[in-house]
Amino acid sequence: MKRSIYSIIVSIFLVFIGCTQAPALKTYSLAVPTVKAVQHSRYQKQSLKVMYPQSLRESISQKMNFSYSVNDRGVYQNAQWSNHVSKILQGTFVEIIENAKIFKAVLADTSTAEENYRLESNIFAFSHSVRGAASHAMVSIQFNLIDSHTGYLIKSKRFSYQEPTQTLDAKGYVLATNVIMRRLSRDLVEWLR
């Protein structure tokens, strides 16, 4: 009886020691890039609804994706995004387009207000690619501007970026992704206007 109690106490103690030595989970978000307001836009009297970004190739969640080869994929165990990647991107797109003053109003898809245009986006890549000593943040997103009243596609463009990371860890990936988001923001505003 004493042995079994002793075994249980030792087991519990070892579990607590093992748990306290695990690295703390770090949570990261994207910095919303600063964009200048445009001088002229043909949409300045119109409204835009930014739809929830969809993923066609990769599994997108709150977890940070990485790959070590074309076939090997995984997620960081000690780092994650502050929210679902699609939610972070949607909020970023709303804020960027709103700050650029391209449209009279920029709405999230949760809004019940009617809009003149919809901006749909498909995520093809949003991950950390490590190949030997080479490490890159990868982002590829296609945008579709659609007339909400007719359903016609006004224009479509896919933006793809690759940015080297300073380190091979999640922090290096996030910093490189923020560089990409600054470039994407400028390109998206220029394309939309």
Give me the pLDDT at residue 148, please. 97
Q: Which tens digit of pLDDT belongs to each residue from 112-162?
A: 999 999 999 999 999 999 998 899 999 999 999 999 999 999 999 999 999
Taking alpha carbons only, the member of 106, 64, 108, 114 closest to residue 87 is 108
CA distances from 43 to 8, 90, 97, 103, 149 (A): 69, 20, 12, 5, 15
- Quote the pLDDT of residue 72: 84
For residue 7, is pLDDT > 80?
Answer: no
Please give the average per-residue pLDDT across 183-187, as a whole number. Answer: 97
Q: Which domains does the chain have, with CATH numbers?
A: 24-192 (3.40.50.10610)
